[in-house]
Amino acid sequence: MIPNIHYSELKDSYLFRRIAEKTAAWQQEHPGEYLYRMGIGDVTLPLCPAVIRALHEAVDDQAEKKTFHGYMPECGDPTLRETIAAYYRRLGVELKAEEVFVSSGASDELGDILDLFGRDKTVAIPEPAYPAYVDANIMAGNRILHIPSGRESMFLPMPDPDMDADIYYICSPNNPTGAVYRKDQLKEWVDFVRRKDGLILFDAAYESFIEEEDIPHSIFEIPGAESCAIEICSLSKTAGFTGTRCGYTVIPEALERGGMNLNRMWVRNRTTKTNGVSYIIQRGAAAVFTEEGQEQIRQNIKVYKQNAVRLMKALDRCGVKYTGGRNAPYIWAECPHGTGSWEFFDLLLNRCHVVATPGEGFGSCGEGYIRFSVFGTPEDTEEAAQRIEQFLNN
């Protein structure tokens, strides 16, 4: 028996594993030294009180016969699905609860959703990109069309008449570049993909960091997207659910290809491949969407945004060029004096005790860039920003 041969096409070391290995080796050589971690995009603030209260109540429900819940509906608790649909209404997007699928997080969905398309599809991935897009498609046996981008487009590649793919990934606000598409730019993508009869997989994991008016939170704010897009969302960065695990995916009922309805196909998929997200976690997720929960998560996001401002000011003072930081929790900076990504990673580690993420890990066009995550504590971010500034100014 030959297992999935495509696994042998994967690059042997996943970006964050290599960073972890380098960091662990450094720590072994420098015992007791503190590291300022701006590498992996994991949150540091705890869950907000409204969520914690809901989780506790849900645990208590499971202790009583009359409030106990067993299997949950595979596509999500109907009340939570409706709550999320109501959240979209605030953005001016009309959705039915049945178009929202509660998930265990965006990563799971980004891989699983490929089930809908079968094998041997062509998938366009604008780069630099979140590495899971590439790896999930290699595993699925798809052909990848790498779409490189750079500073000339401010890392916001636009459709090109020669691009020809079945599926187009769009991530806005973007990981790793922090770049965000405006409404008119997303409209151009939607119009293009509709003409091509393709499909957009829109990753909105960072939508809650958007602060500017003209930046859509959802692809469905663009007319026509309901017939060409699937949106994948996460509570990981929005509400600190990285370790709690919950997200949601929107598949419009109007979305059809080849006479097949993708919403119905996903219902069929979920009812086969999952028994749903746990009752307790869905109760915690529902609390995120209450008025109290929304106010509390806004406060947490504000802390991360202030971190971004601290670091941006330091980079500005050093004349370093970057994107992101305003509508996204990442700052994508040009490595000074033409330094390579991994070389600059080593310099930051050795000279500043700061861990960042080398841009090259997000696609070859990321070479020469470094990504800073602003999910650390304000104290660490302040110290790291000072150290980086001092190092770059010398």
Decide if residue 41 touches ligand PLP (CB under 6 A). Answer: yes
Q: How far apart are CA 80 and CA 283, in angstroms?
A: 8
Decide if residue 99 touches ligand PLP (CB under 6 A). Answer: no
Of 52-60, 139-147, 234-242, 304-312, the window that binds ligand PLP (rule: CB under 6 A) is 234-242
Decide if residue 44 touches ligand PLP (CB under 6 A). Answer: no
Of 88-96, 102-110, 260-268, 297-305, the window that binds ligand PLP (rule: CB under 6 A) is 102-110
DSSP string, 295-337: HHHHHHHHHHHHHHHHHHHHHHHHT--EEESSSSSEEEEEPGG
Q: How far is the CB of 150 from ligand PLP (least distance, A)?
A: 19
Place of tokens 């459709």: 159
Which of residues 171 and 312 has its CB atom nearest to ligand PLP in the complex?
A: 171
Q: Where are the alpha helices (DSSP H) in 30-72?
A: 49-61
Burial class (CB in 10 A: 0-12, 13-18, 19+), 194: middle
Q: How far is the CB of 232 from ligand PLP (least distance, A)?
A: 7
Decide if residue 335 touches ligand PLP (CB under 6 A). Answer: no
Sequence-ordered list of residues with C-beta below 8 angstroms from that of 272, at least 6 positions apart, any chain: none
Beta bridge pairs of residue 332? 323, 371
Residue 135 sits at the vertex; the CA angle it makes with 131 and 141, to the nearest 5 degrees, is: 150
Decide if residue 130 touches ligand PLP (CB under 6 A). Answer: yes
Token duo for residue 210: 């958007």
Of 70-78, 104-112, 143-151, 339-347, the window that binds ligand PLP (rule: CB under 6 A) is 104-112
Q: How far is the CB of 375 from ligand PLP (least distance, A)?
A: 10
Q: Please select the residue that binds ligand PLP; options are 47, 81, 107, 225, rule is CB under 6 A.
A: 107
Q: Please select the residue that binds ligand PLP; options are 39, 105, 284, 363, rule is CB under 6 A.
A: 105
| Total number of residues that touch ligand PLP (CB under 6 A) | 13
> Scanning residues 134 to 173, which ones bind ligand PLP (CB under 6 A)?
171
Q: How far is the CB of 203 from ligand PLP (least distance, A)?
A: 5
Decide if residue 203 touches ligand PLP (CB under 6 A). Answer: yes
Sequence-ordered list of residues with C-beta below 8 angstroms from that of 8, at least 6 positions apart, any chain: none
Decide if residue 249 touches ligand PLP (CB under 6 A). Answer: no
Token duo for residue 390: 């001092």
Q: How far apart are CA 189 and CA 153, in angstroms?
A: 15
Residues that bind ligand PLP (CB under 6 A): 41, 105-107, 130, 171, 175, 203, 205, 234, 236, 242, 247
